[in-house]
């Protein structure tokens, strides 16, 4: 790689976030971004071709009417360097994805380019929490906890108040916080455990089940409700099941109508590029703007 294209690629190496719409697979999003980046880089002016010396024949008339053949040295471009011969400057760019989102979910999806893929691994090893908003609806239960799944039960929900809902959420959060202390591997009686808990830096040492570090109700308009969740090691299927379990605890049933990730580590919805901005220029700017926050996060978490 040389020239303007190489400079563009170096400016891309890092992390950025895009907004994954619902109904689209994460790998389709990644492939679309990758295609757009390749188009942008290959539209840059190609490097100047090499020059070679060629001896070109020429004839000139002599006074006696005869012709003299001479060779003239000229510098001409190497045809092997012509774009029609070499093809595109870039034939591939490595774009990796961080914590993935399943097809029905939407929200922040972190991607890495080039050496940025190593940063994805470092962020993963930090066990950073992620934020979601979950949209639920009381009154029915389905086989896969989603509104499109096979209906298995209908229930009443008139007895559910916001106060009762918030009490159930507090119990669930308390249970998970005690589990987080267990999986963090620190002595619960030490000052270290207290300091980490106050700063919100308790992390599971190894693989652990999904852990809820924060859970609250954002809105309640029966039968609809919206929850905000901070969690670790989650899957979107687990979060749908969480909504189902909230319904059971309230002696009713509930389905999860929407899962949206609003934060993944240092990346929030504010940083997530919408589909119209999955271009070389916008991604380059996003990588540059995110570099400081990523570096600070890795330093703070001790990666």
Catalytic residues, by residue number, are 102
Could you tell me where the DSSP H helices lie in 43-161? 83-86, 116-125
If you count DSSP H runs as helices and E runs as strands, how many of each does the chain have, helices first? 8, 13
* φ, ψ of residue 190 in degrees (nearest 5): -100, 160
The whole-angstrom separation of Cα 173 and Cα 164 is: 14
Name the DSSP letter for residue 191: H
Helix (H) or strand (E) holding 165: helix 162-184
The whole-angstrom separation of Cα 108 and Cα 269 is: 6
Name the DSSP letter for residue 201: -
Cβ(297)–Cβ(52) under 8 Å?
no
CA dist list (Å): 170 to 7, 23, 110:
52, 32, 30
The token pair that represents 147 in the structure block: 């509104």
């Amino acid at each position: 790689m040389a020239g303007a294209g190489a400079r563009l690629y170096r400016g891309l190496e890092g992390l950025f976030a895009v907004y994954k719409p619902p109904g689209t697979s994460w790998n389709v999003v990644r492939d679309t971004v990758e295609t757009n980046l390749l188009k942008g880089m290959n539209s840059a002016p190609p490097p100047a071709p090499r020059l070679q010396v060629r001896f070109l024949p020429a004839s000139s008339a002599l006074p006696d009417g005869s012709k003299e053949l001479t060779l003239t040295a000229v510098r001409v471009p190497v045809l092997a360097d012509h774009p029609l011969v070499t093809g595109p400057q870039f034939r591939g760019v490595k774009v990796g994805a961080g914590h993935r989102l399943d097809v029905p979910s939407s929200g922040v999806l972190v991607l890495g380019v080039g050496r940025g893929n190593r940063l994805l691994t470092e962020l993963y090893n930090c066990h950073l929490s992620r934020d979601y908003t979950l949209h639920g609806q009381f009154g029915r239960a389905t086989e896969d906890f989603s509104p499109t799944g096979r209906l298995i039960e209908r229930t009443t929900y008139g007895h559910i108040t916001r106060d009762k809902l918030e009490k159930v959420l507090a119990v669930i959060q308390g249970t998970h916080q005690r589990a987080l202390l267990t999986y963090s591997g620190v002595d619960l009686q030490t000052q270290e455990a207290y300091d980490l808990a106050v700063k919100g830096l308790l992390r599971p040492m190894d693989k652990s089940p999904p852990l809820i570090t924060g859970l609250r109700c954002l809105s309640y308009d029966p039968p609809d409700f919206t929850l905000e969740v901070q969690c670790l090691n989650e899957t979107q299927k687990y979060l749908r099941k969480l909504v189902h379990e909230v319904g059971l605890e309230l002696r009713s049933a509930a389905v999860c109508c929407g899962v949206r990730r609003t934060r993944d580590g240092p990346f929030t919805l504010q940083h997530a590029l919408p589909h119209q901005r999955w271009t070389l220029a916008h991604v380059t700017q996003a990588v540059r703007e995110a570099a400081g926050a990523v570096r600070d996060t890795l330093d703070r978490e001790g990666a």
